Amino acid sequence: MAPPQKTTKKLNAASSRKGQVASLPLLVEIGTEEIPTTLLPQALQDLALLSEALFSDCRLNYKQIRTIGTSRRLALMVDGVQSKQLSLSQQITGPPKSAAFDASGSPTKAAQGFAKSQGVSVEELTLKETPKGLYLTAEKYQRGESAKKVLTSSLPVYLAKLIFSKAMRWNNSQTKFARPIRWIAVILGHQVLKIEFAGLISGGVTWGHRYFRIKGKKGAQNVSLSNAANYIATMKKLGVLVDPDERRAEITSQIGKLAKLGKGEIDPLYRQELIDEAVWGVEHPHAILGTFQKEFLTLPKPVLISSMKEHQGFLSLVGNDGGLLPKFIAITNTPWGNTKLITKGNERVLSARLKDAQYFFLEDQKQPLHERVQALEGIIFHHKLGTMRQKVERVQELAGWMALRLGQNNISDLCHRAGLLSKADLTTGMVGEFPSLQGVMGEEYARHDGEPQEVCLAIGEHYLPRFPDDSLPTSSPGLLVACADRCDSIASFFSVGMVPTGSEDPLGLRRAAYGLVRIVSETALRLNLVEMFEQMIQILTKQGVGQGHPQTVSEIMGFIMDRLRFYGRTTMGLRDDVMEAVIRVRPHGTADVGDLLSRMRAVQSMVGLDDFETLMVGFKRAHRIVEKERWNQTGVNPERFQHESESRLFQVFEKAQQEVSHGVATGDYAGVLKSLLTFKSAIDEFFATVLVNDPESAIRENRLSLLTAIDRLFLNIADFSCIQSASTDVG
């Protein structure tokens, strides 16, 4: 075992004799093949952080670090790099004298080991007086090296730390990077540094924009950078806007002008997303305005948007009335090309896509949705769970039942209908082509078929929320079908034992449960989830699908409670112990998520208050006694009280009991907590003045019953014994 070592360090700026130390700009450009746009912002951030680490680890001072780039180059620009590294003197304390030398005064193994570990000979070690006595000490001095030398050896090490979520190899170096690196330029001041990385040796040469011809230059379009300053300006001369902010400004201004020219405005829906994509996708943006045939405007807007945005990355234009114009803006990567030709090409691609979409749209409408339900028999939901046809039958039945159960008899039929038609659009050509339009097309086609307004909306909305912070359905039938659909997925997979394990969610059940939690907690739906899942299991059993067993519902509830915990933690900042305390006392046979959350919030608002902490000390003492004695009687006989503190506690109990039952009935949990707080001094006084374990059993039993009654009263809202105390360990 190495002896404990203490190190004192002293950094010294290199002496400035001969005027050696200068302040220089550094440029590192990593030239690549096109790096995916989604990886670039992170890569530039990481590059900046790694550079900071490099400069600090290498004792090199600098003024400022900046990283910029495009899909074809990551550039690190550092201002004011000191041309010399700081020197370092270190004193490292080793073993004490007594352990360092043997009786004969020769160095021991410990001394030798220490010398070896410090890379010095034993003779070079000195003894140093410390408050604890004499200790062996190694003095080390590292002279500051030139920045050139330090950077040449360190840059490859730090560049190798740049990692990507998806990386590849391409040459013998076996380096992993987002895409192949093709050149590296490193310049410190005016000096080219030769570093070795990814099988390449750096130089001072860069390449300009792929499609920019340098005047008078033939062959390879590479250029020597003469110095590290003016990089941005130099690249501009080579056709590259290397600063992303400049590209963004350029794009914004160009598309603004084109929108005006097209007598419209950029559709705000995906504007930002598409601009971001373009900023990182091109080295020199050039926006073009294209058109498509007016006849395609009869297609639903989501279809047009999908064709333009998802497939082509086009921005769409809207007119004064907010409707789409038959125009689009594409952001190309070349201002030097033949704009007319490029525009025509983009128009043709979009036109072909829209023609496809139009074909599907017209074909799909030839068969009404309700006739398509039959065809869902051909789509397997899951091989253990039958077809989509069977699924919609279950969803339909449950959604209708839920409406009745909630007393919303008037919408039961609508829910039933919407449930039946909810997945029918899966059989349409359009959804086959654009899977992201599921639901959207169902709603569209249902309107065309003349289905009731609420049914159409519910079909479209029942997929909401699609992702954690997506919006929720707006209509009651939409909400109920959304719940029924999720309930069906969860219950059916659980009933065949396909329960999510680990962190994976291949069947989307966690997402489904989370959506369910959000719907029932953020809307006025007061659904009893236990009842709902019991009903679902019955429906499954009736259909002969799965083997629902009595345990299934409680397993499902455990799974839902897990999602509830996640939801409470991430969106409301609820503590795990608080949530656990409330979930533990959840009345058997019901699960009203909204109610559980109100309880949790009420409990959490008290936790940490001094009064509450004090109360908890008394409560937990009472709880432990009751638990230890396994006492289960609550009949208290006031005549057996021996001490005033007993009667006082009983009085507080009787009053609180009324308030608690009223509070629980009305959902006024803040009130409940407030009345529980009234126990604080009474409990303390009780324990201070009486001994529960009275020798006379009648007195003892009466006290136990009082404590048990109080314990049960607290359990009405939460199992407070799970709550971690702020100051003391609960034990």
Partner 1 sequence: MTFQEIILSLQQFWKSHDCIISQPYDTEKGAGTFNPATFLRAIGPEPWRSAYIEPCRRPTDGRYGDNPNRLQHYFQYQVVLKPAPADPQDLYLQSLSHLGLDPYQHDIQFLQDDWESPTLGAWGLGWEVRLDGMEITQFTYFQEVGSLEMNPVTVELTYGLERIAMYLQEVDSVYDLLWTENVRYGELYHESEVQWSIYNFEVADINLLQSSFDRYEQECQQLLEHPRGLVLPAYDCCMKCSHFFNVLDARGAISVAQRTGYIGRVRNLARKCAQAYFEQREGMGFPLLHKKNQSPRAKVRKKR
> By the criterion CB under 8 A, which residues form the site for partner 1?
33-34, 36-38, 71, 166-172, 174, 178-180, 182, 210-211, 213, 281-282, 286, 312, 330, 332-334, 336-338, 341-342, 344-346, 348-352, 355-356, 359, 378-384
- Measure the CA angle with vertex 719, ends 713 and 724; round to 5°: 130
Question: Minimal distance in Å, beta carbon 419 to partner 1?
Answer: 21
Question: Minimal distance in Å, beta carbon 279 to partner 1?
Answer: 14
Query: How far apart are alpha carbons 547 and 556 in whole angstroms?
Result: 14
**Tokens encoding 485:** 């659909």
| Listed residue (216, 193, 182) closest to 81, CA to CA | 193
Question: Minimal distance in Å, beta carbon 488 to partner 1?
Answer: 16
Q: Which amino acid is residue 315, in one-letter code?
A: L
Complex with partner 1: residue 390 or 645, whichever CB lies closer:
390
User: 451-483 in b/e burial notation, b at 16+ Cβ within 10 A?
Assistant: beebbbbbbbbbbbbeeeeeeebebbbbbbbbb
Complex with partner 1: residue 332 or 489, whichever CB lies closer:
332
Q: Which region holds residue 690: left if phi is over 0, alpha if psi is between -120 and 50, else beta?
A: beta
Complex with partner 1: residue 170 or 559, whichever CB lies closer:
170
The residues facing 74 across adjacent strands are 30, 69
Question: Minimal distance in Å, beta carbon 544 to partner 1?
Answer: 18
Cα-flanking dihedrals φ and ψ of residue 78, to 5°? -120, 130
Complex with partner 1: residue 109 or 213, whichever CB lies closer:
213
Complex with partner 1: residue 43 or 581, whichever CB lies closer:
43
Complex with partner 1: residue 16 or 338, whichever CB lies closer:
338
Question: Minimal distance in Å, beta carbon 167 to partner 1?
Answer: 8
**Tokens encoding 302:** 């989501």
Complex with partner 1: residue 251 or 399, whichever CB lies closer:
251
162 with 47: CB under 8 angstroms? yes
Query: How far apart are alpha carbons 215 and 43 in whole angstroms?
Result: 33
Question: Minimal distance in Å, beta carbon 412 to partner 1?
Answer: 31
Query: How far apart are alpha carbons 111 and 472 in whole angstroms?
Result: 71
Question: Minimal distance in Å, beta carbon 328 to partner 1?
Answer: 10
Question: Minimal distance in Å, beta carbon 352 to partner 1?
Answer: 6
| Listed residue (94, 63, 107) closest to 81, CA to CA | 63
Question: Minimal distance in Å, beta carbon 507 to partner 1?
Answer: 11
Complex with partner 1: residue 286 or 486, whichever CB lies closer:
286
Residue with tokens 């394990």: 501
3-state helix, strand, coil in the chain (%, to 5): 55, 15, 30
Query: How far apart are alpha carbons 81 and 86 in whole angstroms?
Result: 12
The residues facing 197 across adjacent strands are 200
Complex with partner 1: residue 101 or 164, whichever CB lies closer:
164
375 with 415: CB under 8 angstroms? no
